[in-house]
């Protein structure tokens, strides 16, 4: 799924999957994902830049209610593809609305003339 985001925005997604963002302007960006998890979750989050991981989450503990993953100060070029990959081996994570994620994209600096 492609995220309909500008250079500095947030988007809420429900469920597992891969969510992508194409960089519009070269610059320095911060990317983050905050996901709710249920006690038996095995949610894994990876943030990729052009297919290469730039941040990977740890497996949540049984007491954990959320996973927060951030990639800060990422140098991006025009048309770089940032993907937010949410996967799980636990069946409970693929049920309905058990996983909800807030995806944040913040441009620290960028060249809007491109």
| 2 in any annotated domain | no
| 45 in any annotated domain | yes
Percent of the chain at pLDDT > 70 equals: 89
| 114 in any annotated domain | no
What pTM value is reported for the model?
Answer: 0.88
Q: Print the domain residue range for 38.
A: 9-108
Count of helices and strands (H, E) across the chain: 0, 8
H or E stretch including 82? Answer: strand 81-87
Residue 105, exposed/middle/buried by CB under 10 A (0-12, 13-18, 19+)? buried
pLDDT attached to residue 1:
46
pLDDT attached to residue 5:
47
pLDDT attached to residue 7:
61
**CATH number of residue 86's parent domain:** 2.60.120.40
pLDDT attached to residue 30:
95
| 1 in any annotated domain | no
pLDDT digits (tens, 9 = 90+) for 56-108: 999 898 888 999 999 999 999 999 999 999 999 999 998 878 899 999 999 88
Give the count of domains, the chain.
1
């Amino acid at each position: 799924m492609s995220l309909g985001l500008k250079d500095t925005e947030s988007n809420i997604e429900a469920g597992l999957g891969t969510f992508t963002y194409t960089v519009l302007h070269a610059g320095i960006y911060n990317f983050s994902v905050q996901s709710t998890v249920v006690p038996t979750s095995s949610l894994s989050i990876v943030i990729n830049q052009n297919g290469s991981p730039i941040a990977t989450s740890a497996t949540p503990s049984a007491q954990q209610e959320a996973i927060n993953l951030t990639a800060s100060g990422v140098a991006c070029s025009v048309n770089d593809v940032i993907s937010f990959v949410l996967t799980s081996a636990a069946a409970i994570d693929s049920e309905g609305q058990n996983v909800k994620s807030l995806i944040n994209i913040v441009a620290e600096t960028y060249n809007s003339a491109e």
